Chain A
Amino acid sequence: DAKTTQPPSMDCAEGRAANLPCNHSTISGNEYVYWYRQIHSQGPQYIIHGLKNNETNEMASLIITEDRKSSTLILPHATLRDTAVYYCIVRVGDYGQNFVFGPGTRLSVLP
């Protein structure tokens, strides 16, 4: 699987949008971009995934560049409960394989 690069940490003011970048310059055509987050001492929580098109759900939006070499996860109105480690993962398809977790980005939402 392709590797990803994320900033180790970011801060965001409560109520503002949090934009978390991810580089995946070696992504293959059949690899999806997934985002999970892990709140302290809990299991990872699925946020969103996409292949080419931008995606939005009740939690976040995922913006993927046209060349697919990078993406941005957007939390539109960050709350204190969004403080967590956010993982950007690329993985082939939907065949039930495991995820390979990198170090992620530690997002701190500040009051």
Chain B
Amino acid sequence: GAVVSQHPSWVICKSGTSVKIECRSLDFQATTMFWYRQFPKQSLMLMATSNEGSKATYEQGVEKDKFLINHASLTLSTLTVTSAHPEDSSFYICSATTGQGKHEQFFGPGTRLTVL
């Protein structure tokens, strides 16, 4: 199957700093990418949907000014957690799809963010 990578795989930062997480589709063009967040012992929760070249659509309760998403190309989407706080510590996972006609969605390996 197709491969989605994330970088970094883990990051530790101080409270108040910003952290950027990259999500890349390595061998296919992703018209749509999704960003999920997963707290310990909980399921994945969708944060936002991004389509290449347009603004991301955020789920209710997700602050768009805090979680900046940029889908600048068909193979790259970035999530920037601005002014991170300890409550933002979580496992962030992206997924990508080519869009219509494709059932399978490809997930990245996830990024563990720890905010001190």
A42 CB to closest chain B CB, in angstroms? 6
Interface residues in B79-116 (C-beta closer than 8 Å to A):
91, 93, 95, 97-110, 112
Contact B104 A46 (CB under 8 A): yes
Contact A99 B105 (CB under 8 A): yes
Contact B99 A100 (CB under 8 A): no
CB-based nearest A residue for B108: A43
Which of A36, A95, A98, A103 meets B46, CB within 8 Å?
A98
**A21 within 8 Å of B (CB atoms):** no
Contact B99 A46 (CB under 8 A): no
Q: Which range holds the interface residue count of chain B? A: 20 to 34
Contact B49 A95 (CB under 8 A): no
Q: Number of A residues contacting the other chain (C-beta, 8 Å)?
A: 22
Which of B42, B46, B104 meets A100, CB within 8 Å?
B46
Query: B112: which A residues are within 8 A, CB to CB?
Result: 41
Contact B93 A43 (CB under 8 A): yes
Give per-residue flags for B1-28: 1 if the beta carbon is below 8 A from chain A beta carbons, else 0: 1001010000000000000000000000
6 nearest A-B pairs in the assembled complex, by CB-CB distance: A43-B107, A96-B99, A101-B44, A96-B97, A101-B43, A94-B103
Chain A residues packing against B (C-beta within 8 Å): 32, 34, 36, 38, 41-46, 49, 87, 94-96, 98-104
18 pairs from A and B in contact (CB 8 Å cutoff): A32-B103, A36-B107, A38-B44, A41-B110, A43-B95, A43-B107, A43-B108, A43-B110, A44-B93, A46-B105, A96-B99, A98-B34, A98-B46, A98-B49, A101-B44, A102-B43, A103-B42, A103-B43
